[in-house]
Amino acid sequence: MSILTRRGLLKSGAVMGAGMAAPTFFVNQAHAYTNAPTGGSVTLGFNVPQSGPYADEGADELRAYELAVEHLNGGGDGGMMNTFTSKALKGNGILGKKVEYVTGDTQTKADAARASARSMIEKDRAVMITGGSSSGVAVAVQALCQEAGVIFMAGLTHSNDTTGKDKKANGFRHFFNSYMSGAALAPILGANYGKDRKAYHLTADYNWGYTTEEAVRTSTEAMGWETVAAVKTPLTQTDFSSYITPVLQSDADVLVLNHYGGNMVNSLTNAVQFGLRDKLVNGKNFEIIVPLYSRLMAKGAGANVKGIFGSTNWHWSLSDEGSKAFVKSFGEKYGFPPSQAAHTTYVQAILYADACERAGTFNPCGVAEALEGFEFDGMGNGPTLYRAEDHQCFKDVLVVKGKENPTSEFDLLEIVEVTPAAQVTYDASIFGGELGACNPGA
């Protein structure tokens, strides 16, 4: 069949991206979809930051993906496949096909991420793309996957936009979002720091930073805090000294670092070096808040994280059976506990495979239907819902703080509150956007 003929099979809703070569389409009787596997294997695309400010998260994501592939193919101890409430997976690949994978480097840049995802789809015939440690990257790649007719299982992306104004029918997110962080953090901040505070925000200059700042501002202002300044900082910034000086000159008594990865490590280090944590302002001890935490960030920042509050999607110290199974598998393979980035990417790979098994197909629209409204447990966050209206997962959210007396280089955060899912659940319409229709690509 010629390329022209294959394009003629495209449904009216399957629009190819400008300048994007047509992936290979296969027709099976009346059904057609992008990169349908024809042999004994199926290829997944793991698109992670292997360079740039989020490279540490990307390295851990890739470790988790490789572990998931091992488990899906019947190797290792099976990890969370043993605790997952769905029992559709058999350890013989996906739908009897061996799982293979290709990797790409997003560089934490949207253009680079789209280019590597496009290559995976067109050249490597990946039937699903997953990964990322930046919401700007996630939104860009999710849009590409929608155009190409493949499923996108988002990795670490925290902006409201991913399943809000930029949501897509072919995209799904397990990770929590900025709104949830704000809703979980505010009561803890009020109880520990009082309701009469003046906050200064430093915010990464892209969509994740914007929505995180907005979420924390909205939730803290609602309880009485005043926002005295909000300053954008470049994602490429490594020295934040020039941004800390104005904080000292303001009357703020709280600094909110809407930074992640290497950005957070550097900005927090600079803030501590400038003596912010030793200051008394407005008769109160000066405090620093990190809305989105990870073990990798805590390790990078070292003793500077002690006593600092933040939120996280998951932590390796959780005692549920799923978390323990994953920590055991990951630890035995790599020699250290997994990060929240590793956890969410492992879960996304397993959830995708499980949806294929339950749907009996790799067709993205069948997979999407199996994921929409899916309720599950045993994956480390308690009972979880993949909401049909926006493809966002809802589960318990952890509020953590840096440990005062860590016992090891990995034991840096302590869980201070497990916020019930009901407390962070919101109406699917509040962030706008249209989910649209699933695109099978053919």
Which residues does the chain have with pLDDT short of 50? 1-30
Residue 57 lies in a domain: yes
Residues 153-166 have pLDDT tens digits of 999 999 999 999 99
The reply to whether 62 and 107 lie within a common domain is: yes
pLDDT for the residue numbered 52? 85
The reply to whether 87 and 61 lie within a common domain is: yes
Using left for φ > 0, alpha for ψ between -120 and 50, and beta otherwise, residue 97 falls in beta
Of the residues 249, 280, 312, the one at which a domain ends: 312
The reply to whether 320 and 213 lie within a common domain is: no
Using a 10 angstrom Cβ sphere, with 0-12 exposed, 13-18 middle and 19 or more buried, the burial of residue 425 is middle
Of the residues 391, 414, 429, the one at which a domain ends: 391
The reply to whether 308 and 321 lie within a common domain is: no
The reply to whether 252 and 298 lie within a common domain is: yes
Residues 377-433 have pLDDT tens digits of 999 999 999 999 999 999 999 999 999 999 888 899 999 999 999 999 999 999 999
Residue 372 lies in a domain: yes
Q: Which residue has the tokens 């629209």?
A: 365
pLDDT for the residue numbered 92? 98
The reply to whether 329 and 297 lie within a common domain is: no
The reply to whether 194 and 107 lie within a common domain is: no
Residues 322-344 have pLDDT tens digits of 999 999 999 999 999 999 999 99
Residue 441 lies in a domain: no
Token pair, residue 246, equals 């104005």
- 123 Cβ neighbours under 8 A, 6+ residues apart: none
d(CA 372, CA 173): 11
Structural domain including 242 reads 179-312
Task: Please tell me the total count of domains within the chain.
Answer: 2
The reply to whether 68 and 171 lie within a common domain is: yes
Using a 10 angstrom Cβ sphere, with 0-12 exposed, 13-18 middle and 19 or more buried, the burial of residue 259 is buried
Residue 438 lies in a domain: no
- CATH number, domain at 277? 3.40.50.2300
Residue 29 lies in a domain: no
The reply to whether 77 and 190 lie within a common domain is: no
Q: Can you tell me whether residue 328 is helix, strand or coil?
A: helix
- pTM, two decimal places: 0.89
The reply to whether 276 and 195 lie within a common domain is: yes
Of the residues 391, 406, 425, the one at which a domain ends: 391
pLDDT for the residue numbered 294? 84
The reply to whether 147 and 219 lie within a common domain is: no
Helix (H) or strand (E) holding 230: strand 226-233
Residue 430 lies in a domain: no
Residue 220 lies in a domain: yes
Alpha-helical segments (H) within 92-206: 110-122, 135-148, 178-193
Residue 245 lies in a domain: yes
- String of b and e for 317-326 (b: at least 16 CB within 10 Å)? bbeeebbbbb
Residue 376 near residue 396 (C-beta atoms within 8 A):
no
Token pair, residue 363, equals 């067709």
The reply to whether 75 and 189 lie within a common domain is: no
